[in-house]
Structures are given as structure tokens and as C-alpha cells.
Amino acid sequence: MKRNVIRRITMTGAVVAALFSASAFAEPVGLATLLGEPAAADVPVDKVVRIEPGTRWVNVNQDDTVKFIVRGNSGAENSFAWHFASPRFAVDLRQIAPQGMIDHPVVAYLASDPLYDEE
């Protein structure tokens, strides 16, 4: 009888632990998590990139945090920062920039992180 009680307690504990650990690791998966994530304004960046009205593409590295300074047709400048934790090779910046900040297609081409390149 004692064995059955001990087994039930052990099994109940294992089930509860599994439920709690699964919910702790659950993260929402959306466009931002697939393309990277926004970076706070006070975070150090690896690179600063200026986007002019004629800019069509930029080069960045995977795992870099990049600050984009966007100059619109009126000459006004706005900025945003992004951490490229993405397995993709290219990202349309209009998908990650704040709404309306970039009004034409600009593609960020991602090179592999040089830290992990083999020589």
C-alpha cells in the first residue's frame, strides 16, 4: 500500500513539474520573433545605418543590433533599433520599422555572424 501511495505522489509531482516547465518555456511566436526583436533606445548597437529616400538595400550581420536612421522625403529623420536574431538571409525593413517610417522597399541582407564563421 505504501508503494502505491509513493508512486502516486511521485507521478503527481512529475506531472505538475512538466506542466509548469512547459508553460515557463512557452513564448508567443509572431513576426517579430521570426525576424528578430526591437532593441531599446539605450542599448549599445553594433552598427548605425542611414536610410535615404533612394536606399534600396543594406548589409547587416546576424545577431547584430543595428540602429537605423531614416530620412524621409521631407528631410525629417527618425530612428529605430533592431536586433537581428533571425535565421533568414533577408528582411524587408518595412516589416520591422515603426508603421509608416519607411515608405519604399528596403531589404536588409543578413550575412552570417562572423563569430561563428569557419576558416
**pTM confidence score:** 0.69
Res 35: pLDDT:
81
**pLDDT digit string (tens) for 104-119?**
999 999 998 777 766 5
Question: What rounded mean pLDDT belongs to the chain?
Answer: 81
Domain that holds residue 84: 31-116
Geometric angle at alpha carbon 96, from 93 and 102, rounded to 5°: 50
pLDDT exceeds cutoff 80 at 4: no
Report how many domains make up the chain: 1
**104 belongs to a structural domain:** yes
**51 belongs to a structural domain:** yes
**2 belongs to a structural domain:** no
Q: How many CB atoms lie within 10 A of CB 91?
A: 21
Which SS3 state, helix, strand or coil, does residue 58 take? strand
What does the alpha-carbon distance between residue 15 and residue 60 come to, in Å, rounded to a whole number? 44
Q: What are phi and psi of 33, to 5 degrees?
A: -70, -25
Q: Which 8-state DSSP code applies to residue 54?
A: T
**pLDDT digit string (tens) for 5-56?**
666 766 666 555 555 554 444 444 455 557 889 999 889 999 999 999 999 9
**26 belongs to a structural domain:** no
**109 belongs to a structural domain:** yes
**24 belongs to a structural domain:** no
